[in-house]
Amino acid sequence: MTVRTRFAPSPTGYLHIGGVRTALFNWLFARKHGGQFILRIDDTDAGRNVKEALVPILHGFKWLGIDWDEGAEVGGPHAPYYQSQRLERYQAAVKTLLDKGLAYHDYATPEELKAERESAEKEKRPYHYSRRWLAETPADRAKFEAEGRKASVRLKMPREGACEFNDHIRGSMKVAWTQEQDHVVQRADGSCLYNLATVVDDFDMKITHVIRAEEHLSNTPRQIFIAQGLGYPLPEYAHLPFVAEPGSKRKLSKRELEKYLKNADFKKVNEHGRAVAEKLGLEMKPETFNPVIVDFYEQVGYLPQAIVNYLLLLGWAYDDKKEWFTRQEMIDLFCLEKVNKAAASFDVKKLFAFQDHYMQELSVEEKVQRVLPFLERAGVQSGQAVATVTAIVRAAGDRIKVAGDILDYCDFFTPDDRLKYDDKAFDKSIRNDANALPLLQRVADLLAKTEPFESAALEKSLHDFLQTEGLKFNQLHGPLRVALTGKAVGFGLFDTLAILGKERSLKRIELAAGRVNT
């Protein structure tokens, strides 16, 4: 048997981090067993589909390196892979179920169904549809339609016995049929619903293993009923623990950002991302730009391998020691038997630690290639200044946690007379310090004579100067850094001078001095 797995996102919103984890586990299982991974699009809910959401969903998988063998954009022998293009196939399946007496036309109105539910609640008994408006014969249908009613199609679920199946993660499962309702599989307008469509698709696309989030566990009995009714062989099932909110056991939602921001780590990561986005002029709607959505991490400058490595460990562990995995190790070592049953809490601090680890493993040259696109998007003409970018990256070292952090150093590319100053830092270090301006002027005279204008020579020259003047380094550090960069913080002062060069360093000291009396 060739292993075939699938992931079927709905284009009703942007790519959720929990959905990516599910797709990753399907991809790893297929790759581990030399099988195929299929990406099909669950777009049966036309009312909720967001056309523009499909592009970032597909792009997100490509960015993460989760490729697919068949499906959207790449095609394959079982096309079409969009559910909206498979309606005739679903309607044929509905007809089969009707012909076998495993489904029926139902003419109940929403108001009548609501009344039945309320009656069951009032009498404190389990609700089961009475099938009062069931129509099994043409005569029944004609009678109801004469009253102006429209029919949906419902499954005629068993009212005794149980559905039994095995789950690779949860073991032997048994669900009493009395817990199942007569689920609607076709709306009155002829469109078909998820539970039927996914069963037909899995059969047509020869899916052998259905690996999905545990929220779909309740769908399994009704889908088994449909599959058996249509004469399909059953796939093997594995229901993954859901990805939970930070520090909680509740499912992570991309719609509840404000609640998550009460978590200090989540808030810190979000603010970091927004700072990068603001420098790039990105649109920052909560529904499209927040740490629950994969696109957030690409826009900020995370590394795909950091995201994938972290998601691997959301609900799965090889042992109690190994955390860092190459892509090939992930494939070789992954197995469903090591997936946990308990919910996996989404820890943005842990994810950031993975990002930092992988970022610091890059060579300076690799980091430069990662950060250049961010400078270009910010309007910095870095194409002619790769040497400068390289020097900045080398000097910044582990201060660059994500590629977008390079934007903290855009002041190196800013024309000297357009440098923006942090007013608070300028006032504290220069304007309100009577000794700052005379000190900067003496330092400027020293810098003008320093050769070569390189970090080591500058360090020696300035330390000798401070010793002669009887000053401590922090007395010079603040005024000189603000004069050079407009900010109170940054990487090494000697590297800063060397990267700016003599002419620009002197010019910026002159401009800062002139700003004191403005």
Q: Which residues are catalytic?
A: 254
Tell which phi-psi region holds residue 55, choosing left (phi > 0), alpha (psi between -120 and 50) or beta.
alpha
List beta partners, residue 6: 38
Q: Which residues of 469-484 are buried (b: 16+ CB within 10 A; e: fewer)?
A: eeeeeebbebbbbbbb
Cα gap 395→495, rounded to integer Å = 6
Nearest-5° Cα angle at 61, 55 to 66: 155
The pair of structure tokens assigned to 42 is 């669950």
Cα gap 195→222, rounded to integer Å = 7
Which residues fall within 8 angstroms of residue 348, CB to CB, at 6 or more apart?
Answer: 246, 263, 265, 266, 269, 291
Cα gap 59→74, rounded to integer Å = 13
Burial class (CB in 10 A: 0-12, 13-18, 19+), 138: exposed
Query: Around Cβ 201, how many Cβ atoms within 10 Å?
Result: 21
Tell which phi-psi region holds residue 39, choosing left (phi > 0), alpha (psi between -120 and 50) or beta.
beta
Cα gap 6→8, rounded to integer Å = 7
Chain center to CA of 85: 28
Q: N- to C-terminal Cα distance for the chain?
A: 79
Tell which phi-psi region holds residue 65, choosing left (phi > 0), alpha (psi between -120 and 50) or beta.
left
Contact 346, 252 (CB under 8 A): yes
